[in-house]
Structure 1
Amino acid sequence: MSLDQSFIVVKYGDDQEALFNPWCSTQTLVDWIRRKCECPKDVVIDLVDLDGQVKNLSGSSEEYANELVTGRETYILIHVEKADNGPNRYIPLLNNIEKINPELMIKLNNMARPSTRNKRERTKKMSRSGKPSKLESSLKRPTSTERRSKQPK
């Protein structure tokens, strides 16, 4: 039985990178990344892979980090701005990422936008004539004009 003893590469700052051993708790990994990459304690940090998948290390402090990251892979250090309402904002802590990996920057920006899922679902429920389906009409709140017309005169 051989254990995969590989490390991960974390890119940050002015095209700097550091090696980390993911065979530890996610909290320990985050602490070491914070120390090595000189991140303040009050900043929420995480990693994102080159495909734009945020690893959510801070939300899994009891798990082993090697269950969330893959050995020998490269990750970008990010700052997570927690939002009260809506999606979190992900800010890369790798300078010039828009030049190094513009596709990743676009993905991070898109994750911070509010979802338009409800609008798409409503569009799917529209009939071919462009009018709302019976289901959509029954779920829709009446407009002020519709409420006035239903009131007894």
Structure 2
Amino acid sequence: MESNGYYMGQSFIVVRYGDNQEALFNPWCTSTTLIEWIRKKCDCADNDVIDLLDLDGQVKFLSAKEKEYACDVVDGRQTYILIRIEKQGENEPSKYISLLNNLDKLNPDLMVKLNDLSKPSKGRKDRRKNMKSNKGRDSPSKRPASSDRKNRTK
């Protein structure tokens, strides 16, 4: 049986958490339902904001896509890391915490990517300001006006 180009049996995902534990989930449900099943199976607190991190370091933001089917957000037959998201403040980035213990030893590169998500990033305004301040520095000097060129040849 095939639906949306996927075989139903191939759509399960693996979620890693705790002390190198794994759980299998079927994403053929809403994102809200998947999050609630993950919360229950992986013993997460009711007030924890949880989500999934793929092995490339991309947060899936399932809670922001609560009405969408989870199978449209995650890829079947893939492994994800369970994470907790802590809101820090209005102007500060959220903190992303792995709920897979020892991620730093199991996959150091992924841990670096996860930590980088929690760092403040410079906004576009800062980048634009730097571009404007550097604008004239590396550009070649202005071409002489035609009247200047005439004066030089005389």
Kindly report the root-mean-square deviation, in angstroms, between the aligned alpha carbons of the 2 structures: 1.5
- Residue 128 of structure 1 deviates from its aligned partner by 3.6
- Residue 37 of structure 1 deviates from its aligned partner by 0.3
Give the structure 2 partner of residue 138 of structure 1: none
Give the structure 1 partner of residue 142 of structure 2: none
- Tell me the distance in 1 between the aligned counterparts of 2:86 and 2:36: 18
Give the structure 1 partner of residue 35 of structure 2: 30
Give the structure 2 partner of residue 129 of structure 1: 137
State the Cα deviation string for residues 48-107 of structure 1 (Å, max 9, x = none): 100011000111111110010000000000000023222211100000000111111111
- Residue 121 of structure 1 deviates from its aligned partner by 2.4
Give the structure 2 partner of residue 93 of structure 1: 99
- The TM-score with structure 2 as length reference comes to 0.79
Give the structure 1 partner of residue 150 of structure 2: none
- Tell me the distance in 1 between the aligned counterparts of 2:2 and 2:38: 26
- Residue 45 of structure 1 deviates from its aligned partner by 0.4
- Tell me the distance in 2 between the aligned counterparts of 1:103 and 1:44: 24
Q: Choose 1 or 2 for highest CA Rg.
A: 2
- Tell me the distance in 1 between the aligned counterparts of 2:22 and 2:128: 43
- Tell me the distance in 1 between the aligned counterparts of 2:104 and 2:136: 42
Unaligned runs of 5+ residues in structure 1 are 131-153
Q: Give the secondary structure class of the aligned counterpart of 1:59.
A: helix
- The TM-score with structure 1 as length reference comes to 0.80
- Tell me the distance in 2 between the aligned counterparts of 1:128 and 1:73: 49
Give the structure 1 partner of residue 79 of structure 2: 74
- Tell me the distance in 1 between the aligned counterparts of 2:130 and 2:137: 12
The answer on 1:10 being equivalent to 2:15 is yes
Q: Give the secondary structure class of the aligned counterpart of 2:126.
A: helix
The answer on 1:116 being equivalent to 2:114 is no
Match of 2:50 among 38, 42, 45: 45
- The size of the alignment, in residue pairs, is 130
Give the structure 2 partner of residue 65 of structure 1: 70
Matched residue type, 2:130: T
Unaligned runs of 5+ residues in structure 2 are 139-154
Q: Give the secondary structure class of the aligned counterpart of 2:48.
A: coil
Identity %: 55
Q: Give the secondary structure class of the aligned counterpart of 1:79.
A: strand
- Tell me the distance in 2 between the aligned counterparts of 1:86 and 1:60: 22
